[in-house]
Amino acid sequence: MIMSNPDRKLQKMVIDGVEIDYTPGETIYQIADRSGKHIPTLCNDPRLEPFGGCRLCVVEVDGSSNPVASCTTKATPGMVVRTNTDCLEEYRRVLLELLVSENREIDVDTLRGYASQEFAELVDRYDARSGRFVGVRSGRSRTDDDNPFILRDYDLCISCYRCVRVCAEREGDYAISVMNRGFRTQITTEFEGLLADSACTFCGQCIQTCPTGALADRKAISAAELQGAVEKTRTVCPYCGVGCSVDILTKGDTIVGVHPAMDGPANLGALCVKGQFAFDFVQHQDRLSAPLVRGEDGELHETDWDTALDRAAAGFSDVVANHGRHSVYAVASGRAPNEAAYILQKFMRAGWGTNHIDNCSRA
Amino acid sequence: MAVATDRELLERWRSEPAPLLPLLHAFHERDGFVTEDALRAISRGLRTPLADLFGTVTFYHHLAREPGGAGAARVCTGLICRLNGAVELLERMRAEGAKAMPCSGGCDDPVHVLVGDDVLVGTAAGTLERRPALLPPLNPGDSRECVFSHIRTDDRARIDVYEDTGGYEALKNAVRDLTPQQVIEIIAASGLNGRGGAGFHTGTKWKLVAEAPGEPKTIVCNADEGEPGCFKDRVVMDYDPHAVIEGMALAAYATGATRGFIYLRYEYPRALVILENAIAEARQAGYLGESVLGTGSRFEIYVRRGAGAYICGEEGALLNSLEGRHPFPRNRPPFPVTRGYENKPTVVNNVETLAAAAHIVRNGADWYQSLGIGHHAGTKIVSLSGDIQRPGNYEVPLGFPLRTLLDDWAGGARPRRAIQAVTMAGLSGGFLVGSHLDITLDEPSLRSRGLFLGAGGIMVFDDSRDMIEMAHAAMEFFVAESCGKCFPCRIGTQRLEERLAGRAGPSDLGPWLDEVNDIGRTMKAISACGLGTAAPLISESLVKYFPEQVERHVRRSRDETATLKR
Amino acid sequence: MSNPLADMEKPDVIFCIGTNMTECHPVAATRLKRALARGAKMIVADPRQIGLSDLADIYLPIRVGSDVALLLAMAHVIERDNLTDPDFMAARTVGGEQFLQHVRQFPPEWAERITGVPAKDIEAAALLYGNAERGAIYYTLGVTEHICGVENVQSICNLALMTGNVGREGTGINPMRGQNNVQGAGDSGALPNNYPGFQPVTDPQFQNKFRQLWGTTVDIEKGMTKVTALGRAGDQIRAMLIDGENTLITDADRHHCEQALKSLDHLVVIDIFLTDTAQLADVVFPATAWGETDGACTNTERRVQRLRAAVPPSGEAKPDWWIVCELAKRLGFDGFDFDSPNQIFNELCDVSATYHGLDWDRIEHGAYQWPVPEKGHPGTPRLHEKEFPNGRGVFKIIEYRDPAETVSAEFPLWLTTGRRLQSYHSRTQTGRSRGIDFLLPEEVLEVHPEDLERWGLRDGGWCRVTSPRGSVEIKVKATRRSPRGTVFASFSFSNVPVNVLTGSGYDPITETAEVKVSVVRIEPCDSSSITV
């Protein structure tokens, strides 16, 4: 429940000619965003502190000689703001043309990461692939980093520092940082090493916030050639008890990756290496695909469900017939859903009439 | 003396505020470069993430990351030193490991060379000479000075000499007779504005800090005089350090601040020693310390040496640098007056501003007002350099005609030469030519022409100079100094430099101009700090005042490219 | 957890004890890191120099199994310096006077002799926590997996109760659950002493309730815990149904566990892989996995969330509930005619007090934290805001006692076990995910570098670790993360079955094994005998 603070009375401002209420402390960008304005930005991730680096989100404010960055500027009472004048749109187009000029041109696969299409979409929206501003390119891809999870394709980097900031502000790992300055800026680790030798925990947050696909999910893009559209299914991570919300990415019947759910109540978009990357056990060749029963030869053999269920039921019946209902025991899984645990305890209590049930919390 | 251990260095500096820069310098000097082990030790000692620390170290020009780099000679290749053979000198010295450095504030006596903490003057022929820093030339007019009024007194840097000419009287009087509010009122009434470039009203700044909630408060003296062609703060610190200290102590008294920093650019090692001596003397005399002049109020000053970054003259970047963070500029608001050093209220004032404050409190607001011409209040030091007979620092009354300064005070152009162009605000105001030189030096006059005085650096280029070359050298400076935080400046400076060098860009004049103008307009309008908004004034004024040179340049670049392709 | 995960960003003082959160609950740890970035202070008590200790303001490297001594001495300092919250104690607790009297016997100097932590550090930690406006305690299995696990938890509660750090934002007593749905399994009644929603099986009121609901007779005695059941296997217990647990690898004292399972007349295992445990079964049922199963689960902050299937099942795999229902139907049991998990979940909500206000549709967005006593209730992110479940918080008088085993000439080293960031439990899942091996290819025994020579070991060489219960061979890694005299390994790798060594004793109440403390000796062994 959101508590209303009496000191925080709503104020009014004007955006593109429309009066809008806001709560003191809100930035122009936040107010415009929730009012349905699509102010372009590349350095903004709503989970991070406003940075003010990309300057795409600049807006005109009455009384201010130059446009201001809407992401870092808080609204003031009566402020009059214009978000999309011809002049602003021209600055934005020039900026995007400049960005295009510093990078290698590729089609960025959506499997590269959660935010990987942001830059490409803006380039299309502003028709910025004009071929102007040719010059040397920035960033150097780390083809030598052979870690299995994070592709470091810095040729595509635009130095928005979202990766550095998410690593520091959200993950608290401070594994990556900014090296050099100006056009020679390079995202790096301590002493320009490999991620595996750094403080990186491979949580994948940098991948998911990267707006160009410069940092990419190596496991997911290995499925880039697979036919079909990428579908998302919201669920909860299968590992520890924190209960992070995730979106499983599928192509057809194949799980190809995982995205953190940015609105997940427990994780607010965060994940760890297991939740982010350890998903493919589900479709591993070792999965059991049919029931097994132990044969006369002492080995387990595949069989059909009816045979296996009959055999299992008969085994329990025999034991109870010979030793009573308190001779059976069940252990519920701490990994399976609530329904499994509920049904299993009901099976023991209502079926057999015993309280001989436990779960694996004692291990 | 035994070499200090990691632990000793960490213990030494951890007890002081803002320990990162001095620690880096201590390890840098001890080991000859910043070793990986040093960074690991500092990371553990200050509990700073190693990757952050590494990234921050790579930001600064002067922190060497290869053996022996700390002691290597550094040759200034700023515009004025280039006019005096800096490039040739650097080539001669490369074999010994010499490196280039951007304008290092020695434009009155080029070529500026640093070897360790030695400041030398070099020539194209390769000679290096140790000679004292130049005092300001004697004021040729009859105008009265403020900051320079006693600077030519022998041994002025000694506390007894300073006191003999009325030094520290202002502080003593203030503490004895004035309330902090009254000190602020004097400064406010004097009309003193910041002399570092932004020109904010000093009295108002002090008042805001005095009234802002949050302790402890801090006075930061911005002595990171990085603007090319500016060397006025250097002369004040070299010859009148106590004036700066007294100004800081007055600011502290007025605002309730208990700690002060002088953020000194790396390239002024002489000033470092002089300031540290002066601070020790002032402490000894009771002007600084646990109880300033027996008042029970504490005020300590710490000198923090930068490590080579123009952007650290921007106050947000300066504060980040002091705090040991990556020196990107901060977003504003909030301003330092409410959230400055360690997010507490902070005065950030330029050296000249603080030195003037001491004179103002001693002589009164009316006195300072009267120094200017007409209704303009006070004086401004102008650093004049380049193709001019008598380069140096001149304290001019505000409202003073630029022509008089150039032709009468400084002797005009060299024999048989005429002034082709001058820069304003160091490099941050672009070029100025012809009848545009008929202006008076005061903000209203300049602003009405879209100009500004900035920190007061004026570089002069005579008609022997290729302005494309000058503009390109200027843009190289901005490329080297762009911090990389905001997109327009990071990419825009690079693309402008490439076009001024003739390495890239359209081969026809029309599209070439479109690109240069589009980049410039965008940078000016939406860059995040003054560097990005100022850099395109170079290309803009070049295109405006030197169209023939630009046309020739574009044609020549095309021809050269064609030749290469053939 | 008494408090929501969101509260982890809000304490002034954080006290982590027996929790390697950056590895075991990494996403929760990010919230603590944000609190630290905001200026919060942190105390970390752990025998090993874990990741959290690097971030701590005060790190207390306690000897394994000495938690009670530390907590008593902290309480002593808080009482001595009048840092208690007398209003809270008077209004909300009972037994405070006796407790304060009790702790006067245990100064930090006494605890220093037991924990090995300097008295001044214990003192500093107590003052920090005692002076906190909002103090929060976090713990995990490092507290509970001891013969005195319950006493450890009670000592933590005492500390929080005496300082009033309960029931408010940024405070609380916060155990972190280790598995994705271990909370939900207990909530749903998979406990020997409780019906769903923690309704005691020994309470006639609930016996009647479930008798009527299910239309059957009910057992009026508490059931056995799993540990007891394994102990009685082949004797009183003759058949077991194990759902999704690799008991053999994850439980203490593997040899004992293996014998127990082998002695059963009938063992049925439901799992997604043919685990070491499944290989002993008479019947193995293939279950649908995460990503193939619809359902509900409950996290460590009591938040009930939906699991959704994204792909079809592997082969003929079926949901766990379907398998058990089919078994039940074959055995003639009534009440198992379900077609979908939502019917089952809704029945669970109907019979449970804690989930009563929930149903399948309401948990769509994971917005509720139990208890949700009735429809329309907003849920309860923070427990104990007004009162405790039984009215008042009860102080417990606790005395320190040694672990079940203590080091001796024969077994001169302490062994403690745990998890690592990159692998999960018995690696049935992480071991089958591409790339994880790159980060963590094998298990190692972590030994302090200065202990190597004494035991004739070499960093990267192999050693044999022997406890009173068995031996394993394992590679040696020198690291200062382990204190001198204590070694560490995780139990994740089946080729290095560390739980062969554990199982020295069990908490008498929860019957949780003391896997955090065993005594061992280590000796080098010829690597050629390993690399067959």
Residue B262 reports pLDDT greater than 50: yes
Q: What is the pLDDT of residues A288-302, one digit of tens each?
A: 999 999 999 999 999
* Topology at the third CATH level for domain C5-176: Dimethylsulfoxide Reductase; domain 2 (3.40.228)
Residue B97 reports pLDDT greater than 50: yes
Both structure tokens of C170: 């940024």
Which of A182, C296, A343, A359 has its CA nearest to residue B494? A182
User: What is the distance between the alpha carbons of residues C281 and A294, in angstroms, rounded to a whole number?
Assistant: 8
CATH number at residue A109: 3.30.70.20
- Angle of helix B530-545 versus helix B547-565 axis, rounded to 10: 90
How many Cβ atoms from other residues are within 10 Å of residue B364's Cβ?
14
pLDDT at residue number B565: 60
As assigned by CATH, the class of the C413-529 domain is mainly beta
Cβ <8 Å between B482 and A183: yes
The structural domains of chain B, with segments of one domain joined by +, span: 6-69, 72-129, 159-369, 372-462, 467-565
How many Cβ atoms from other residues are within 10 Å of residue C520's Cβ?
25
Contacts of A94 in chain B (CB under 8 A): 518-519, 521-522
Note whether B327 and B286 are within 8 A (CB): no
User: What is the distance between the alpha carbons of residues A204 and A202, in angstroms, rounded to a whole number?
Assistant: 5
CB burial of residue A19 (10 Å; 0-12, 13-18, 19+): exposed
Same domain flag for A155 and A72:
no
Cβ <8 Å between A183 and B494: yes
pLDDT at residue number C530: 45
- Considering its fold, how many domains does chain A have in total? 4
CATH code for the structural domain at B467-565 = 1.20.1440.230
How many Cβ atoms from other residues are within 10 Å of residue A82's Cβ?
16
pLDDT at residue number B483: 97
Other chains touching C, judged by 3 or more CB pairs under 8 Å: A
Same domain flag for A199 and A236:
no
Measuring CA to CA, how many Å separate B410 from each of B108, B138, C127, C287?
Answer: 12, 11, 69, 92
Residue of C nearest to A247 (CA): C310
pLDDT at residue number B447: 87
Same domain flag for A80 and A139:
no
Residue of C nearest to A331 (CA): C242
SS3 C349: helix
Both structure tokens of C26: 């990494």
Q: Is residue A4 part of a domain?
A: no
Mean pLDDT of A229-253: 96
pLDDT at residue number C214: 92
Q: What is the pLDDT of residues B300-343, one digit of tens each?
A: 999 999 999 999 999 999 999 999 999 999 999 999 999 999 99
The stretches in chain C having pLDDT less than 50 are 528-532
Cβ <8 Å between C341 and A343: no
CB burial of residue C412 (10 Å; 0-12, 13-18, 19+): middle
CATH number at residue A265: 2.20.25.90
SS3 C218: coil
pTM of the model: 0.94
Residue A7 reports pLDDT greater than 60: no
Same domain flag for A135 and A218:
yes
pLDDT at residue number A363: 56
Contacts of C281 in chain A (CB under 8 A): 292, 294, 300
Residue B73 reports pLDDT greater than 50: yes
How many Cβ atoms from other residues are within 10 Å of residue B12's Cβ?
14
pLDDT at residue number A362: 61
Task: Name residue, tokens 């710490």.
Answer: B302
Cβ <8 Å between A250 and C311: yes
pLDDT at residue number A203: 96
- Mean residue pLDDT of chain B comes to 95
Q: Is residue A273 part of a domain?
A: yes
Q: Is residue A94 part of a domain?
A: no
Q: For the domain with range B372-462, which CATH number is right: 3.40.50.300, 3.50.50.60, 3.40.50.150, 3.10.20.600? A: 3.10.20.600
Residue of C nearest to A306 (CA): C326
Contacts of C321 in chain A (CB under 8 A): 337, 339-340, 342-343
- HSE-CB at B223 with a 13 A cutoff on CA atoms is 35
- C373: Cα separation from own chain's centroid: 26
- Angle of helix B351-363 versus helix B241-255 axis, rounded to 10: 80
Contacts of A265 in chain C (CB under 8 A): 303, 305, 365-367
Residue of B nearest to A58 (CA): B526
Helices assigned H by DSSP within C221-353: 226-231, 247-250, 254-262, 320-330, 341-351
Percent of chain B with pLDDT over 90: 92
- HSE-CB at C92 with a 13 A cutoff on CA atoms is 22
Distance from CA of A183 to the nearest CA of B (A): 5
Chain A interface, best mutation among B37, B339, B486, B512, by max A CB count within 10 A: B486
Measuring CA to CA, how many Å separate B255 from each of A17, B260, B315?
Answer: 43, 12, 18
Q: What is the pLDDT of residues B157-173, one digit of tens each?
A: 999 999 999 999 999 99
* CATH superfamily of this structure's domain B159-369: NADH-ubiquinone oxidoreductase 51kDa subunit (3.40.50.11540)
Contacts of A67 in chain B (CB under 8 A): 525-526
Residue B444 — very low, low, confident or very high, per pLDDT cuts 50/70/90? confident
Same domain flag for A122 and A212:
yes
Of A84, A116, A141, which residue is a domain's last?
Answer: A84
CATH number at residue A23: 3.10.20.740
Burial B186-196 (b: 16+ CB within 10 A, else e): bbbbbbbbbbb
Q: What is the pLDDT of residues C327-361, one digit of tens each?
A: 999 999 999 999 999 999 999 999 999 999 999 99
- Residue numbers of the domain that contains A30: 11-84
The structural domains of chain C, with segments of one domain joined by +, span: 5-176, 182-351, 413-529
Measuring CA to CA, how many Å separate B156 from each of B28, B161, B298, B303, C424?
Answer: 32, 5, 26, 20, 72
* Topology at the third CATH level for domain B6-69: Arc Repressor Mutant, subunit A (1.10.10)
Cβ <8 Å between B493 and A182: yes
Q: Least CB-CB distance to A182: which of B36, B326, B490?
A: B490
As assigned by CATH, the class of the C182-351 domain is alpha beta
Mean pLDDT of B245-259: 98
Distance from CA of C331 to the nearest CA of A (A): 6
Non-local (6+) Cβ contacts of C374 within 8 A are C356, C357
Q: Give the H/E segment covering residue A151.
A: strand A150-152
Chain B interface, best mutation among A97, A98, A103, by max B CB count within 10 A: A98
Of A225, A240, A264, which residue is a domain's last?
Answer: A225
Of A264, A285, A306, which residue is a domain's last?
Answer: A285
Both structure tokens of C6: 């969101």
Residue A4 — very low, low, confident or very high, per pLDDT cuts 50/70/90? very low
